[in-house]
Amino acid sequence: MKKAIRVLLVAVCLLMVFTTPVAAAAPYQTYTYSSTGFVLTSPDAYVPDKVVDGAIASANFGELRDMVVDKDGNVYLVDATNACVHVLNKYYRLTRTINSFVNEQGVPDGFNNPSGVFVNDQYIYICDTDNNRIVLFNHDGEFVQTVGKPESNLFAEGSIYKPVALAVDSYGRMFIVSSTTYEGVIVMGIDGSFYGFIGAQKATVTAWQAIWKFISQNAEDEETVTSTEYNNITIDKDNFLYVTTNSIDEAAQQNAIMGKDKGGTLAPVKKLNASGTDVMTRNGFYPPSGEVKVSTSATSKIQGASSIVDAAVGPEGTWSIIDDKRSKVFTYDNQGNLLFAFGDTGSQVGSISTIKAVAYSGNDMLLLDKDNASFTVYRRTEYGDILISALESQNLRLYDKEVEGWTEILKRNNNFDIAYIGIAKAMSRDGDYENAMEYFRVAYDSAGYSDSYKEVRKEWISKYFLIIPVVIIVFLVLVLKFFGFAGKKNKAVSLKVGQKSVTEEIIYAFHVIFHPFDGFWDLKHEKRGSVRSGFLILLATILSFFYQTVGTGYIHNSAELTSDSLYLTLASVAVPVMLWIVANWCLTTLFEGEGNFSDVFTATCYALTPLPLVIIPGTFCSNFLTAEEASLVSMLTTIGFLWAGMLLFFGMMSTHGYSFGKNIVTILGTIVGMIFIMFVAVLFTTLLSKMFTFVYGIIDEIQYRM
């Protein structure tokens, strides 16, 4: 929380520094997100320029549903109330209203509840939703043809076809979103021939629904799973489709965002190729699915995940989506990095009451406001211009110019991680790996950091090539020497009668881990170990986990360390161990186990010995390993855990004098017992905390009233 406040404060300071001059211009705050989900204020990339309503366009605007801009800057607005499409020129003055035509049969015809429009060089395509057809016009506003419902047996019996949005690729194929069709995007030619469905949105199932389905095993229940459908579609110049949906289960969508899910199943916006595969790159800190920090409090006016209703493709591979819950625009680059988010509800120029569509017109962004029957033109700022030019240089591989651009961006917004990554990449291309590492680290790009580190390490190794085998040999010799010494010592102590010293007891652990059967037997019967040495081994294990927490190399653990993580480590080691000991003792007392409580404790602690032995060197090595080599460390750790588990098994067997089969049963029982104790503990603490809050509440209340 402290940290949150701190970050917020920095953000506020930055806000003061950067946005004061333009504060009067935009009634919203532009921002991005940090890797940990903090809002980072950013300079405005777009500022409102003017609002175009019916009076200004000299047209009569009803309920505006969709808006597109053609390459000449003409704006096409779909008006459902007046059942027409208004065509405005690039100065936003009405040039034509398409509302009636004479159809193929030579009969005067009109639209019924039109919802979408698409424009390419050839035609103007209008989704005549309630007439279940697409109507094509040429650019002189003359009627060309109508395309009705595609004929195919792939359509379910009696299914209704309600086209609400469409996009047309450079081959003239139409991609149609129908509001009542769940099978995906309909692909058809303008002659009405049906090509198929693509990109079916998988039905989302909440966890509860899944469990219920599992339990009930009832086929009828499948009906309760809601299918999701798309609500809008747009296409870029390479014929990739951007489809949006707002019918994914909100909690699931938000969980996917918070879980940094890179998959597309729960993404409200997908980039489909011609065969309907989601090819969206989601390399940002959070998936490009709209708002990250959302309120779940019942008293907030806006809650839950974004409701994405439209997408637009901007310059240089950028694309924007709009959230009609928040009246916000989120703009991403082609890697899925959030470039900027802005927008708010309200009545000032630049605020939008209900956002319905987004479109780019040259350097301007247009947002459609359904409630006010108008659209607002946003002008790109200097910051936005630099950002786009930097992306342009990146796309054209003009690296020097790109670095220049990112440097300019950082002067204006030093929280912009993409700029740091851009510079770091340029540095590593120039061979300046050390500095590149620093920039990657600032931008929380551990993959880039790892690549640069690899190069730095390569250089170091080539310089000190001879040292490495020497160090390894010395280390191995020392290890062998130590085990030789331990073996000798243990043999000597086995003849000793009476109380053993702590050192002797601990050195005995090195015998136990290699000879578990007689090792644990002697541990108990020959009193080769004791509770105090067991406790020391437990302590060593905890300390080694502490070391793992604080000492793991940046590449393998890029999460920021807080003082809480140490407590968490302590709890995650000590609590399961103690639970195991208590549960096992309780159970074995009932099952004729021979070991008493201290025997169980000692044996369990001795079984932990392999853990510090693998974790300490593993953690140490992680500082010199790259991301690809991480599996080495994790393999080592896994071996340690398996080893400890095996020791635990045999330790319990010898301590209690059980047969192999009986030991398996008691160990399973112990695990159940642990779960049971946990359950009771959770129940107890919950009740206790309820009671505490109650008493605290009363005291609080009395205090307020005094």
Partner 1 sequence: MNAKRILSVLLALLTVLGSICITAYASVVPAAAAYEDKVDENGDPKIDYLTKEYKTGKNKLKDMTLIREQNGFQLWYEEFTGEVALVDPETGEGIFSNPYDIAVGNYASKATRQQLLSQLAVTFSYNGVEKTMYSYTDAALLGQINYKNIKNGVRVEYAIGELQTTRLVPRMISKTRFESMIMNNITNEKDLEYVMSFYSLKDPYDVKLTESLVKEMQAAFPVTKKFAVYVCETDISAKELKRIEDIIKTFCPLYTYEEMEQDHNDCDYVSQDVAPPNFKMAIEYTINETGLEARLPANGIRFDESTYTLKSITMLPYMGSGRGSNEGYSLIPDGSGTLIRFEDIQGQTYNVSGQMYGSDYAYHSISGQHTEKMTMPVWGVVETRETEVKVGVGPSATTEKVESDRGYLAIITEGDSMANLMCENGGKIHIFNNVYPMFYPRPSDSYNLADSISVGSNSSLTVTSSRKYAGSYRIQYILLGTEFENGKSYDATYVGMAKAYQEYLEGTGAITQLKKEDVQKDIPLYVETFGAIQTTDRVMSFPVTVDTALTTFEDVKTMYNELSEAGISNVNFRLTGYYNGGLNNTYLAKLEWEKVVGGDSGFKDLLSYATEKGFGVYPDFDFAYQRLADWFDGVSEKKHLVKSIDDRYMSKREYDAAIQDFESAMLLQFPQQYTITSMLSSMLTILLTALRAFPYQHSVQT
Q: Which residues bind partner 1 (CB under 8 A)?
A: 2-3, 5-6, 8-10, 12-13, 16, 24, 27-29, 31, 39, 41, 291-295, 298-302, 326, 344-348, 351, 550-551, 560-563, 565-566, 694, 697-698, 701, 704-705
Please answer whether residues 232 and 243 qualify as being in contact, where contact means their C-beta atoms are separated by less than 8 angstroms: yes
Structure tokens at 180: 């009542």
Q: What is the 3-state secondary structure (H, E, C) of 644-677?
A: HHHHHHHHHHHHHCCCHHHHHHHHHHHHHHHHHH
Residue 391 C-beta: closest distance to partner 1, Å: 24
Residue closer to partner 1 by CB (options 225, 302) is 302
Place of tokens 């009476």: 498
Residue closer to partner 1 by CB (options 174, 294) is 294
Residue 57 C-beta: closest distance to partner 1, Å: 14
Please answer whether residues 124 and 143 qualify as being in contact, where contact means their C-beta atoms are separated by less than 8 angstroms: no
Residue 27 C-beta: closest distance to partner 1, Å: 6
Residue 6 C-beta: closest distance to partner 1, Å: 6
Please answer whether residues 225 and 209 qualify as being in contact, where contact means their C-beta atoms are separated by less than 8 angstroms: yes
Residue 50 C-beta: closest distance to partner 1, Å: 12
**What is the torsional sign of CA 497, 500, 504, 509?**
positive
- Cα separations in angstroms, 283 against 263, 334, 366: 11, 9, 27
Residue closer to partner 1 by CB (options 492, 699) is 699
Please answer whether residues 85 and 98 qualify as being in contact, where contact means their C-beta atoms are separated by less than 8 angstroms: yes
Please answer whether residues 586 and 673 qualify as being in contact, where contact means their C-beta atoms are separated by less than 8 angstroms: yes
Residue 203 exposed, middle or buried by CB count within 10 Å (0-12, 13-18, 19+): middle
Residue closer to partner 1 by CB (options 39, 274) is 39
For 84-140, give the DSSP string: EEEEE-TTS-EEEEE-EEE-TTS-EEE-SS--EEEE-SSEEEEEEGGGTEEEEEETT
Residue closer to partner 1 by CB (options 8, 476) is 8
Which H or E run includes 370?
Answer: none
For 440-463, give the DSSP string: HHHTT-HHHHHHHHHHHHHHHHHH
Residue 113 C-beta: closest distance to partner 1, Å: 26
Instruction: State the Cα–Cα distance between residues 452 and 437, nearest whole angstrom.
Output: 6
Residue closer to partner 1 by CB (options 341, 614) is 341
Residue closer to partner 1 by CB (options 20, 659) is 20
Residue 385 exposed, middle or buried by CB count within 10 Å (0-12, 13-18, 19+): middle
Residue 1 C-beta: closest distance to partner 1, Å: 11
Residue 292 C-beta: closest distance to partner 1, Å: 8
What end-to-end distance do the CA atoms of the chain give, in Å?
Answer: 30
Residue closer to partner 1 by CB (options 41, 389) is 41
Residue 407 C-beta: closest distance to partner 1, Å: 20
Residue closer to partner 1 by CB (options 26, 235) is 26
